[in-house]
Structure 1
Amino acid sequence: MSSIVDLHPISRRSLLSGMVATSALVLLHPFSVRAAANQAHLRLMETTDIHVNVFPYDYYADKPNDTMGLARTAAIIDSIRAEANNSLLIDNGDFLQGNPMGDYMAYERGMKEGDIHPVIKAMNVLGYDVGTLGNHEFNYGLDYMFKVVGGSNFPYICANLTKGQLASDPKRDDLFFKPYVIVERKIRDGAGTESLIKIGFIGFVPPQIMLWDIKNLEGKAQTRDIVEAAKAWVPAMKEDGADIVVALSHSGIDGAAPTERMENASLYLAGIDGIDAIFTGHQHLVFPGPKSWDGIANADPLKGTLSGKPTVMAGFWGSHLGLIDLLLERDGNSWKIADFTAEARSIYHRDDKKKVVADVADKQEVIEAAKAEHQATLTYVRTPVGKTSAPLYSYFSLVADDPSVQVVSQAQTWYIKSMLKDTEYKNLPVLSAAAPFKAGGRGGADYYTDVPAGDIAIKNVADLYLYPNTVQAVVITGNQVKNWLEMSAGMFNQIDAGSRDATLLNTDFPSYNFDVIDGVTYEIDLSQPRKYDNDGQTINPHSNRIQKLQFDGKPIDPSQKFVVVTNNYRAGGGGKFPEIASDKVVFVAPDTNRDVIVRYIIEEGTINPSADSNWGFKPLPGTTAVFESGPKAKQYLAAVKGVKIEEAGDGTEGFALFRLVL
């Protein structure tokens, strides 16, 4: 599990040539400068959640975007390498799916013998040392994933993904990948003496892939709890001679009490003896960073530590490069950490007017590596499939019935009625659950669907539905429909009647869990507390935010059965909605939700996505609440039905502020 590579110190010539885009001279990190005779500086660099964003280009909007792209991250990798005498580069997963280039490669182009995926081409150019897997690596199936990673010039590791049932001892699991690698490097200390160091890397994937991608993994794979796997393998790494152990954790940071098979387990991973540093991901956040991490015990978002150990989460789509700098000190025949710093360095900033300003230019070798696939993807996403009679936008999708969600529900309902017409469920009423995927939030002020009336291309369908989920249907009762909506209503903060400009949206609640159910009508009473927390646990059992829930113009019968069409993520238990799990599934489609939308549009020729206002808020006289949306939302204010919304000034980070009159 080892490889020896000479890592030579940066020469004066290479230092002078390592200039950032602003032409400022790159200076060595203080650890490289001050290292004593028995000390050496080691820089560890991370990318995470690239999601096939090799180019700084938003295929959904069909325009360049300065906040993304591995070609941009690559430019700061070059300059950041020049700041350190010794460095290694890792990727922390979710590189294979997430934009139309990923779908084009998987569904249109395919991977033939000898082909190398464009994201792997780009990573090979940059000289990665090791990578681990994220949950989205499994979206296209195991065979496809193995073909892709087979083209890499660096190893992939994963300690908690098995080929079959879990063994009694994690170390006896039949793993798809090596659980860890130990990279042996020659590093030069402050006196110029070369010594050998063994750096161990161990990788982890969220166990929830067995829910999220059950269609690809059932009967073929299994996952083990992250912390359980680490406790077994980290001592083995030490026995194998690792001086330093670095966890590549495609798992976020959650301050909740530890649970079995925890999705975001990095905080508790950091508590394991023997782990020295952690790279995290999955949550699309930045650590060390802002207020998102306030109040989490044993997490220091200023210093960048979990349980006192250096930790980084490097954003998403190439927005940041994660850096952990270690000042290492000889301890007998091995090395220990004497000091460290942690940082997530951005590829852009915002000026005083909140406009995005690129801090680096493209690295041309990366651009060239994926240029042909980029051009093919542009052709792919620009292919028209039909027309829409009205604009499709998601600026108000969290506060009003919305055309971008409406068309998804229309397509799902059209599809499932056809699929079930000759089954035992043909006479059950059909409801459709859909959520907005592009609704601002962490994606930024431009992260919204905005398709004008007229032609609809594949890029627009991908914009409506970001993920390659497949259609599934569940059969549930009217009472379970209500609880589904109660869970969705966690999107909103409790608002006191009569209050003015209270904050409406719960920023800890993901927009993709805000399901709107079409086929029923209902109101949401914001004066009541949420019934469930984000994990689907009852916290206010007597709360009833969902009011006037009706089917066919009458109060819903709690015991009546309904078919609810949704996606494999939700039907399999994703989002932890009460009583919604795989045991309720009655139909598993071979088609993705995106494909269903395309086929629906082709069938209809011209679609009418106008929202039917089947849901809204219970009136609270004298009450207003505020929320943020993209500045372009203003042009659609007059078209919003069922609610009264006013402009309320500027928001933060480029957003605009709006007022909901209740």
Structure 2
Amino acid sequence: MSAMLHPISRRLFLSGAAALGGVVMLHPFAARASANQAHLRLMETTDLHVHVFPYDYYADRPNDTMGLARTAAIIDGIRAEAGNSMLIDNGDFLQGNPMGDYIAYQRGMKDGDMHPIISAMNTLGYECSTLGNHEFNYGLDFMFKVLAGANFPFVCANLTKGSLAANARDDALFIKPYVILDKTITDGAGQDHPIRVGLIGFVPPQIMNWDARHLTGKAMTRDIVKAAEAWVPQMREEGADIVIALSHSGVGPAQYEENLENASLHLAGVDGIDAIVTGHSHLDFPGPKFEGMEGVDNAKGTIGGKPAVMGGFWGSHLGLIDLMLERDGKNWRVSASTSEARPIFERVDRKAKPLVESKAEVEDAARDMHEATLAYVRTAVGKTAAPLHSYFALVADDPSVQIVSQAQTWYIADMLSETEHKDLPVLSAAAPFKAGGRGGPDYYTDVPAGDIAIKNVADLYLYPNTVQAVLVTGAQVKDWLEMSAGIFNQVEPGKADQTLINTEFPSYNFDVIDGVTYRIDLAQPPKYDPKGNLINEGANRIVALEFDGKPIDPEQKFVVASNNYRAGGGGNFPDIGPDKVIFQAPDTNRDVIVRFIVEQGTINPAADANWSFAPVDGATVLFETGPKAKDFIADVKGVAIEAAGDGADGFAQYRITL
């Protein structure tokens, strides 16, 4: 029996009209479709990462930038706009926030249990999904228990149960490589026609590295493009009128290499694929970040000449591909297309303003687990033997930065333990995010000693960055630190109470590198300005730089753990960019910190004073911090510091004798 492609019902019309402010806008394709022409809308969610509610569990407060319950309002609106529509998901729905961790690590999944993300998706009537890399984070058994609750199929053409066959069509796959859905589509003249829609899915081959502990000896992955070249012709042979690729993969380089992580551009070149829904990169396409990218037409919404979309992440956008289909005899073909990533919020005065309200049925599907997760994140997952605060993070080695580096080093050392880089020393770069400044005198990390809850991690690490590692030399480590030291003004010997901090330099670019020891000579001018421009080539603020108790070898190679912002070139640090990246983790820095705390039980983030200021004869400097800093001044190591009265705008002022 064929299925109608979501004809407009009164309920959907009304809910869609409400989501769109009471006005239902027909797409131009729908308005001009004639006999033997039909308008089909493909709706995509991707990288939901268990975000059903518009709620940040780390910060323990609502967040208007996320949540499938919010995206659901747009879905209803789209169905009201177009009679012919399909809703599909592009993977990474199972892990990524504390609700996912709570179910996997605390509650568990028994046969027959319903995962809340699946319950929410069932409520919305998804028709197909593929697997993302994060589906494997909790192991294969857990994943398949979750998938069993879905009212829709999952497809993945490049995940095998063992070794790869000589021919991809002979691979022993875990799930179907594709499905062909028999649908009924209504043309512009109101006539119904049968159409067979093929959906094929792909996962990044890198899951074999990222989740080796779960997959080694149990699974293998095939190159995305090669899998598509094998299976898409069979889909056409079986009568698929149109073929949609569900590519949990970003766009990536223009030059093809086997087993690319981001292969969607080359996937688009496979004959027989009509449109691609993409993801994995946590971006919205079409969008400004894709301007000028080779093989991408941002204005037309195409990748490699094929209609494509990427619907953000965490439910932030609904990916939307509009296809104008023409019937030529018994066959359908795509004659035109448009693409859009439709957001659930907008930025007004740097604040998120919701564009839609949550759909109650979707929240209700996950409400019990939402409430249980709130209790979970408010419960201690470990202990800290020392307070975690950032009041002195800009002037001394700091416990709030130390714990981030400890977690990053622990994680990267494990991730690289079976790679060609396993014998290289691992350093870690981390910066204080909450360090006063424009955030005001209360804008500091402040977690007391004792129990530490998951939500406290948000106080340690503000941003949803992912862990990355770069390969650099000792000389580049020094230059990295020279750039960081640009946060300090030059200090004149013999002069009292000089202003220490250059307020034009953001604290999140003040990287402290753990694993080496060094001093900062403030009598020297900065080598780089806050934008990374070389301004004093001969300057050497970083002195006594040592590794393993000896002066650092400029030629020695080091792995430095950091985040995707810094490793990708953020902050314009010298010689640090994508060409230095050797590892891109599937995990956020926050998740890694949580795992580290759970693993350790009790963390001891007391600063080890691996960096300090070099003496400057007769000089003192002033800096401002939060008034609560007075409670921690006795704990500061390696700095002669004293209170110096009140600062401006509620800050407290301190003096350092150099």
For normalisation by structure 1, the TM-score amounts to 0.72
Q: Name the counterpart of 2:317.
A: 320
Q: Name the counterpart of 1:539.
A: none
2:321 aligned with 1:329, yes or no? no
Could you say what the CA RMSD is over the residues aligned between the two structures, in angstroms?
4.9
Q: Name the counterpart of 1:177.
A: 175
Deviations 1:595-637 (A, max 9, x none): 4324646365xx54x58463999xxxxxxxxxxxxxxx99999
* Structure 2 gap segments, 5+ residues each: 414-422, 491-501, 521-525, 533-539, 564-577, 586-590, 615-624, 639-658
2:293 aligned with 1:293, yes or no? no
Matching residue within 352, 372, 376 for 1:376 = 372
2:447 aligned with 1:453, yes or no? yes
* Residue 243 of structure 1: how far off its partner (Å): 0.9
2:190 aligned with 1:192, yes or no? yes
Matching residue within 305, 309, 321 for 1:308 = 305
* Residue 44 of structure 1: how far off its partner (Å): 0.4
Deviations 1:28-63 (A, max 9, x none): 322222210111111100000111111100001000
Deviations 1:434-469 (A, max 9, x none): 657999xxxxx9xxx964232631222477579999
* Partners of 2:12 and 2:76 within 8 A in 1: no
2:131 aligned with 1:128, yes or no? no
* Residue 143 of structure 1: how far off its partner (Å): 1.1
Q: Name the counterpart of 2:166.
A: 168
Corresponding residue SS for 2:319: strand
Q: Name the counterpart of 1:650.
A: none
* Residue 592 of structure 1: how far off its partner (Å): 7.1
* Partners of 1:99 and 1:466 within 8 A in 2: no
* Residue 252 of structure 1: how far off its partner (Å): 0.6
Inter-CA distance 393–71: structure 2 relative to 1 (3 Å threshold): farther
Q: Name the counterpart of 2:206.
A: 208
Q: Name the counterpart of 2:136.
A: 138
Cα separation, 1, equivalents of 2:527 and 2:316: 38
2:428 aligned with 1:433, yes or no? yes
* Structure 1 gap segments, 5+ residues each: 418-427, 440-444, 531-543, 568-574, 583-590, 618-632, 643-662
Inter-CA distance 101–462: structure 2 relative to 1 (3 Å threshold): farther
Q: Name the counterpart of 1:482.
A: 474
Q: Name the counterpart of 1:646.
A: none
Q: Name the counterpart of 2:655.
A: none
Pairs within 5 Å for 1:560-579: none
2:338 aligned with 1:346, yes or no? no
Inter-CA distance 177–450: structure 2 relative to 1 (3 Å threshold): farther
Pairs within 5 Å for 1:87-106: 87-106=85-104
Deviations 1:178-230 (A, max 9, x none): 11111110111111211111111111111111111111111111111111111
* Partners of 1:312 and 1:344 within 8 A in 2: yes
Cα separation, 1, equivalents of 2:335 and 2:246: 21
For normalisation by structure 2, the TM-score amounts to 0.73
Corresponding residue SS for 1:111: coil
* Partners of 2:112 and 2:145 within 8 A in 1: no
Pairs within 5 Å for 1:493-508: none
Matching residue within 33, 38, 45 for 1:40 = 38
2:212 aligned with 1:217, yes or no? no
Deviations 1:362-392 (A, max 9, x none): 1111111111111111111111344575554
Inter-CA distance 368–451: structure 2 relative to 1 (3 Å threshold): farther
Q: Name the counterpart of 1:280.
A: 278
User: What residue identity is the alignment partner of 2:446?
Assistant: P
* Residue 404 of structure 1: how far off its partner (Å): 3.9
Cα separation, 1, equivalents of 2:478 and 2:64: 38
* Partners of 2:597 and 2:603 within 8 A in 1: no
Cα separation, 2, equivalents of 1:285 and 1:581: 16
Deviations 1:400-457 (A, max 9, x none): 976544113346889999xxxxxxxxxx998653657999xxxxx9xxx964232631
2:602 aligned with 1:602, yes or no? yes
Inter-CA distance 8–270: structure 2 relative to 1 (3 Å threshold): closer
* Partners of 2:205 and 2:259 within 8 A in 1: yes
* Residue 577 of structure 1: how far off its partner (Å): 5.9
Cα separation, 1, equivalents of 2:200 and 2:347: 36
Cα separation, 2, equivalents of 1:126 and 1:68: 17
Pairs within 5 Å for 1:387-466: 390-392=387-389, 403-410=399-406, 433=428, 451-454=445-448, 456-461=452-457, 464=460
Corresponding residue SS for 1:337: strand
Q: Name the counterpart of 2:230.
A: 232
* Partners of 1:249 and 1:280 within 8 A in 2: yes
* Residue 278 of structure 1: how far off its partner (Å): 0.7
Corresponding residue SS for 1:183: strand
User: What residue identity is the alignment partner of 2:356?
Assistant: V
Q: Name the counterpart of 1:359.
A: 355
Pairs within 5 Å for 1:39-118: 39-118=37-116
Cα separation, 2, equivalents of 1:406 and 1:461: 13
Cα separation, 2, equivalents of 1:562 and 1:293: 32
Inter-CA distance 346–17: structure 2 relative to 1 (3 Å threshold): closer
Corresponding residue SS for 1:9: coil
Q: How many residues were matched structurally?
A: 560
* Residue 553 of structure 1: how far off its partner (Å): 4.8
Corresponding residue SS for 1:177: coil
* Residue 152 of structure 1: how far off its partner (Å): 0.8
* Partners of 2:385 and 2:602 within 8 A in 1: no
Pairs within 5 Å for 1:517-596: 517-521=514-518, 549-556=545-552, 594-596=594-596
Cα separation, 2, equivalents of 1:268 and 1:390: 50
* Partners of 1:437 and 1:466 within 8 A in 2: no
